[in-house]
Each structure stands twice: as C-alpha cells, then as structure tokens.
Amino acid sequence: SEEKSLNFLEEIIEKDIADGIHGGRVLTRFPPEPNGYLHIGHASSICLNFGLAKKYKGLCNLRFDDTNPVTEETEYVESIKADIKWLGFEWAAELYASDYFEQLYGFAVKLIEKGLAYVDDSSAEQMAAEKGDIGVPGKESIYRSRSVAENLQLFADMRAGKYPDGAKVLRARIDMAHPNLLLRDPIIYRIKHAHHHRTGDQWCLYPMYDFAHGQSDSIEKITHSICTLEFIHHRPLYDWFIEQLEIFPSHQYEFARRSVSYMITSKRKLLQLVNDKYVSGWDDPRMPTISGMRRRGYPAAAIRKFCDTIGVGKRENLVDITVLEFCVREELNKTAQRRMAVLDPVKVVITNYPEGKTEQLNADNNTEDEHAGTRSISFGRELYIEREDFMEEPVKKYFRLGPGLSVRLKHAYIITCNEIVKDADGNITELHCTYIPESKSGSDTSGVHVKGVIHWVHAADAVKATVRMYDRLFTVEDPANAEGDFKDHINTSSLSVLDQVWVEPALLQASENESFQFLRKGYFSLDRDSQPGHLVFNQTVGLKDTFAK
Ligand code: ATP
Ligand code: MG
Ligand code: MG
C-alpha cells in the first residue's frame, strides 16, 4: 500500500523523539470546554490528538477546560465523554482545569511576588483605551506600580469575595508597548460571583483562558499541546508564563480549524439552533454534532476515516460535505445489512398467484460481507412496490413496471402489469399483475429476460414504519460566513416525514442505531423514538451522491 507522507505535526514529534526531548515521551490532550456538544471539527481534533498519541506509543488526556463557570454544565461533560468513547478513543486520564484552581491561584501569587503581576482597579473601558493598537504603544495603568505587598493583599481580598464582579482584575506585568497586543499586560484573573458546575461557590475568582490553558498543560506535563490556528498569537504568552513560573515546558502547536460545507462548527451557533428550536436537540440527525451524526447513522469508523482523509494543515479551507458522505457510504456498504422497504407504496395484486398461499424466499443480507448470511422473506399474492416504480405512460427506456411491461421482483419472480385500478379521483390504488412461476430467482427456467429489478414487500406480513428523510440543514455552502445571520440560511424543508412506509418484518429485530441498506433507497438507521410495533428510521445517506444535480 501507498505510504502516506508525514504531516507537519508527525514530523515535529518524530524529530522530538529522535532528539530525546522529554525522554521521547509523547503526551497530548484533548481540551474541550464543556459548554456544548462536540461537533465534526472537534472530531478532527480528537482523531488528531488521540491518533498521534497512539501512533507514537504515547497517551492522550481528556481535560475539561472548565474555567468559565457561566456557560458550563455537567450535561455537556457527560455528552463529551460519551462521544469520545463512541468515536473509539480512550483517554489516559480524565482531568478538569477546575481541579487546578488552587494551583493556578498559587502561580498567580508567585507572579505577584516576582513583581510580574498587579491588581488593577481600572474599568474595562479604561483598560481598553490604554491598550493602544498595532504600531501604537499602550499606556501604563496608574495601578501598575502597586507594591508586591499591596498586590498580595488585594488579590487575597479578591479571592475572599470582598469585591463585586468587575471591580478589580489581576494583570500580568509584561510590556505595554509590546508589538503583540496580547502581551500588553493581559488580564489573568477576573472576579465572577458565579456558581461553577464542579467547584460550586468555592471561588468567586476565575483564571482567564491564557492563564489556565498552558499552565494546565504544564501541570500534566503535556509534551505537544495542539490547538487551532487562532491561538498562534497567544503562543508567546503561553511560553512567557511557563518561563516566568519555571514550570514544565509544554509547547503549543497550531493547526487549521476544520469546517465542512453546509455545516456549522461553532458550539455557540449550534446552541442557538437548539434553543430557538430549529432542530429537535443537540442530537437532531441534521446536526453536525457527533451525537447528531451518530443518531443519523454515521458509523464512527466513517468519521475517523473522514478526519484521516482530510488530514491536518496550516491553512483553513471548507471541506466538501460529499467527502464525509462518501466515507459514510463506503463504510456502510461494507457493514450494513440489506433489507427491503417501500417508502411510497402502491399495492400489487398477483392475480394468478393462489389466494391464501405464501412461500419463503431466500435473500442475502450483504454480498459485500461474507459473514452476513441470508434471511428468509415471505412472498404472496399481495405486495407493495414503490409508486415511482410504475409509470402509466412509460417514457423510452423505462425498464420498470408499466401497462404490459415486465419487471423482476428482487429475490422473487418476474411480473407483468395487466390492469390499473383507480379511485374516483383518478389515483392509482392497485396494479393487477401476473407472475411467471418458472422465473423464481436462483432457479429461473422461464427463459424470459427483463432489464429492471425492483424491491417490494409482502403485504401480509409487512410492518408499517416512519422514515425521516433529511436534506442539508443550510441552503448555502458556508453558512457561517454567508451574508446576514447564519440562521437566515436555514433550509426550511430539511426534514420530511414519510409515515406510510412498509418494511419487511425482519426489521422488527433491529436494534437502536442499527444501520441498514434499504435496497435501491439508501442507508437508514433505527431511531431511538421507535416503539414496540412502531419503527422509526432516519435516512443516513443516499446510495449515490445525488446532490450535485
Ligand atoms: P467552538 O467555537 O465550537 O466553541 P472551541 O474551539 O471554542 O470551538 P473547545 O471546546 O475549546 O471549542 O475545543 C476543544 C478542542 O477542539 C480545542 O483544542 C479546539 O482547538 C478544537 N477544535 C474546536 N473546533 C475545531 C474545528 N472546527 N476544527 C478543529 N479543531 C477544533
Ligand atoms: Mg476553546
Ligand atoms: Mg468556544
């Protein structure tokens, strides 16, 4: 097989191992903020961090970056863990940045003691005005020269809850003329009298991202801290804290965020879709969340394959959603059992088939999988076929059913249509056909050849089901960057519910989330909304890419 070339992160890691950096040890981490459900972009980061650890015989931590009490919830923590496991990865340790609050507070005290941090009483507006701009040096705050002793006291008072939100902040004392604006005395602690999902009301003081992330990496002795490109300008600050605090030298590397066409990859925006009820929840099958894709029937292996296929890079681009769908189809083709389901039924009566008689036919479950075996399906006088497999006035080269035309019923017989029965409004209600008894699949001696093969179900034991058909959730390729609000581009007909579907009875044994290929119709997965006796399927993906019409 073709040897894949190394991506830039693999090159870095291989060099580090060769140079004996950190004794050749590799420890990565996946650091979600528990403020929403994971999406396809996170899947890419998960595959990358866990994948690199695995490839280089290292480990990967799961660290909840839970330093912002207001938006974080335990429900999200649980969903994140379930999603990572489902994707097929195991973390070395489950950790929480909030477990480091005491240690991080200690780090801040150490900076104060070194004269490298101070308490600032300025308003947010004042600080913004003093920040300066690119090429324009900032102005030092009047509080910048506070003594170490005063800063220590004030910081302790902040922790003790003596001040309201926003009254004071702790800032690193770096350089108000630094060319990188992020290093102009960044805020590292803010007062927030808010309940935290894990630490409760223990703290009213919370560290900023920049003061929590790198130090958390360092506490865990992470060797390669991989984040997305927008943090590249934060790296000097990441390094500055580690250097000043004289702690383990973790190193940050950046790669380009992943976005997929017709999808939104921002938890904040996805939360709006949930809150405003554009979708039924975070795991609505139209959502680009891992839980939505799982419920839709996307196999974990297909998502991993997709992430591997698109790889990592340093430039952001929109990955075509058809690449993801291709991976899904390819995986399901190998693994999904075949069944017959008629989504839009019309009844067929085989007039020369004895009334009351049924027979059992043999049907292969999946010819792509030698272990899939066969199942027995019943056949009788009354069947359902798809309405679209019949044409009253057939066009040229129409190889399915029409007046006087013959077609093969999959796994069964050749039938010919002789009569159309209509109701008072002219709608076709039944097709009366005859079958050729010698044309049974597998033992056909009829000598009759037909081009078309259609699927069907036996009316006598068919099971009623509901099928949810899905279209793209957005009408434009790049909803996040399209004109106006992203919600202006929601596809209002992304869901259509078919509730007159007939499926073969073998599907009564289907388990939740199990995937099937409905012959000629695509892939479908059993939804958790199914009740005993009432099956509900979600369309996963069609058999072919039919979107680019
Ligand atoms: P969002 O904007 O959706 O909230 P985030 O980056 O704030 O995304 P985090 O929970 O902080 O979400 O993400 C955890 C990890 O996943 C981070 O390391 C982040 O860089 C990575 N990540 C998030 N979105 C993407 C994406 N679209 N592509 C690749 N990696 C991503
Ligand atoms: Mg983040
Ligand atoms: Mg975010």
Ligand 1 centroid – CA 185 distance (Å): 26
Whether the pLDDT of residue 480 is over 70: the answer is: yes
Short-list 386, 359, 364, CA closest to 374: 364
Catalytic residues: 33, 257, 267
Phi, psi of 90 (to 5 degrees): -125, 130
Q: 44 and 190: one domain? A: yes
Query: Residues for the chain: how many in total?
Result: 549
CA of 79, nearest ligand number: 1
Return the number of other C-beta atoms located less than 10 Å from residue 439's C-beta.
Answer: 21
Q: Report the relative pairing of strands 515-518 and 337-339 from DSSP bridges.
A: parallel
For residues 158 and 152, what is the distance between their CA atoms, to the nearest angstrom? 10
326 within some domain: yes
- Output the residue whose Cα is nearest ligand 1's atom 7: 33
Give the domain range for residue 282.
Answer: 258-340+462-549
Q: 315 and 436: one domain? A: no
The stretch 278-304 carries a mean pLDDT of: 98
The stretch 474-482 carries a mean pLDDT of: 96
Q: 388 and 298: one domain? A: no
66 within some domain: yes
- What is the reported pLDDT for 532? 86
In the chain, how many domains are there?
3
Short-list 167, 143, 151, CA closest to 112: 151
Q: Report the relative pairing of strands 515-518 and 522-526 from DSSP bridges.
A: antiparallel
User: Residue 331: exposed, middle, or buried by beta-carbon count in 10 A (0-12, 13-18, 19+)?
Assistant: buried
Q: 154 and 218: one domain? A: yes
Short-list 130, 126, 104, CA closest to 209: 104
127 within some domain: yes
22 within some domain: yes
What mean pLDDT is reported for the chain? Answer: 96
Q: 70 and 124: one domain? A: yes
Amino acid symbol at 500: Q
| Matching residue, tokens 């909030």 | 98
Q: 155 and 26: one domain? A: yes
2 within some domain: no
For residues 95 and 275, what is the distance between their CA atoms, to the nearest angstrom? 29
Return the number of other C-beta atoms located less than 10 Å from residue 258's C-beta.
Answer: 26
3 within some domain: no
- Output the residue whose Cα is nearest ligand 1's atom 4: 267
Q: 364 and 415: one domain? A: yes
Reported ipTM: the value is 0.96
CA dihedral (276, 282, 288, 292) positive or negative: negative
Whether the pLDDT of residue 217 is over 90: the answer is: yes
Ligand 2 centroid – CA 111 distance (Å): 25
Express the helix, strand and coil content of the chain in percent, nearest 5 each.
30, 25, 40
Structure tokens at 472: 């793209």
Tell me, using a 6 A CB cutoff, whether residue 31 lines ligand 1. yes
The stretch 300-313 carries a mean pLDDT of: 96
* pLDDT tens, position by position, 61-86: 999 999 998 887 889 999 999 999 99
57 sits in which H/E element:
none
Helix 235-245 vs helix 101-113: angle between axes, to the nearest 10 degrees? 80
Tell me, using a 6 A CB cutoff, whether residue 266 lines ligand 1. yes
**Boundary-marking domain end, from 228, 255, 282:** 255
* pLDDT tens, position by position, 393-423: 999 999 999 999 999 999 999 999 999 999 9
Residue 204 sits in a domain whose CATH number is 3.40.50.620
Whether the pLDDT of residue 304 is over 50: the answer is: yes
277 within some domain: yes
Predicted confidence band of residue 2 (pLDDT cuts 50, 70, 90): low
Whether the pLDDT of residue 485 is over 60: the answer is: yes
Q: Could you tell me if 456 and 387 are in contact, meaning their C-beta atoms sit under 8 angstroms apart?
A: no
**Boundary-marking domain end, from 191, 223, 255:** 255
229 sits in which H/E element:
none
Q: 167 and 88: one domain? A: yes
384 within some domain: yes
Q: Could you tell me if 405 and 417 are in contact, meaning their C-beta atoms sit under 8 angstroms apart?
A: yes
- What is the reported pLDDT for 72? 77
Q: 263 and 163: one domain? A: no
Q: 231 and 296: one domain? A: no
Structure tokens at 419: 């009569």
Q: 210 and 312: one domain? A: no
Predicted confidence band of residue 549 (pLDDT cuts 50, 70, 90): very low
Tell me, using a 6 A CB cutoff, whether residue 265 lines ligand 1. yes
Tell me, using a 6 A CB cutoff, whether residue 32 lines ligand 1. yes
What residues does the ion ligand 2 have nearby, CB within 5 Å?
Answer: 33
Is residue 422 classed as helix, strand or coil in its secondary structure? strand
- What is the reported pLDDT for 345? 98
Return the number of other C-beta atoms located less than 10 Å from residue 355's C-beta.
Answer: 8
**Boundary-marking domain end, from 455, 474, 493:** 455
CA of 41, nearest ligand number: 1
For residues 366 and 375, what is the distance between their CA atoms, to the nearest angstrom? 10
Residue 412 sits in a domain whose CATH number is 2.40.240.10
Amino acid symbol at 459: A
Q: 18 and 145: one domain? A: yes
Q: How far is CA 259 from CA 141, 233, 316, 318, in A?
A: 40, 21, 8, 5
Ligand 1 centroid – CA 83 distance (Å): 14
Whether the pLDDT of residue 281 is over 80: the answer is: yes
For residues 380 and 357, what is the distance between their CA atoms, to the nearest angstrom? 6
* pLDDT tens, position by position, 118-148: 999 999 999 999 999 999 999 999 999 999 9
Ligand 3 centroid – CA 460 distance (Å): 54
